[in-house]
Amino acid sequence: MGMTTMIQTMIKEGKIVPSEVTIKLLDKAILGIDNDKFLIDGFPRNEENRAAFEAVTKIEPELVLFFDCPEEEMERRLLSRNQGREDDNIETIRKRFKVFLDSSLPVVEYYAAKGKVKKIDASKPVQEVFAAVKTIFTPKDDKAANNVKESHGK
């Protein structure tokens, strides 16, 4: 089984990809960029991910963005995506949310204790969520904030 197939199978089953796999991919990507700033989406997913990432890369995040959204709203959005993932069904969504509460929330709490978490109310409309994120990334002296462009990921 190839790396891609293994990762796809684990995602389909709602499992977390092993830390060493993800960290190797992230480390390679980080070393391959000229910029000293980067945004990692959806990682670390658990305490073991976090500890391994910091140990291997010697990087501790400057800030952690936490998009807080009630489970009911998240379910509604995921089930109404017209180009959703193949695992966008109610059972898998609920499984993923439970994994989040059990495994990922402790990571958010770990960084919150260090004062690094910026919490965004993600139940609001897209434009308001984007405005809140843009504020976080806008330098204090840049009132215009026109340097951040909006994009919608899947």
CATH T-level fold of 3-137: Rossmann fold (3.40.50)
Q: What is the mean pLDDT of the chain?
A: 85
Closest CA to 103 of 45, 53, 58, 143: 45
Q: What is the pLDDT of residue 145?
A: 47
**Position with higher pLDDT, 63 vs 92:** 63
Percent of the chain with pLDDT over 70: 88
pLDDT for residue 14 is more than 50: yes
Per-residue pLDDT band at 84 (split at 50, 70, 90): low
**Position with higher pLDDT, 111 vs 15:** 111
- ∠ CA 126-88-53, nearest 5°, is 75
Q: What is the pLDDT of residue 154?
A: 45
pLDDT tens-digit series, residues 104-138: 999 999 999 999 999 999 999 999 999 999 999 88
| Segment 78-88 mean pLDDT | 74
Q: What pTM did the predictor assign?
A: 0.73
Per-residue pLDDT band at 24 (split at 50, 70, 90): confident
Sign of the torsion angle spanned by Cα atoms 139, 37, 84, 18? negative
| Segment 78-90 mean pLDDT | 75
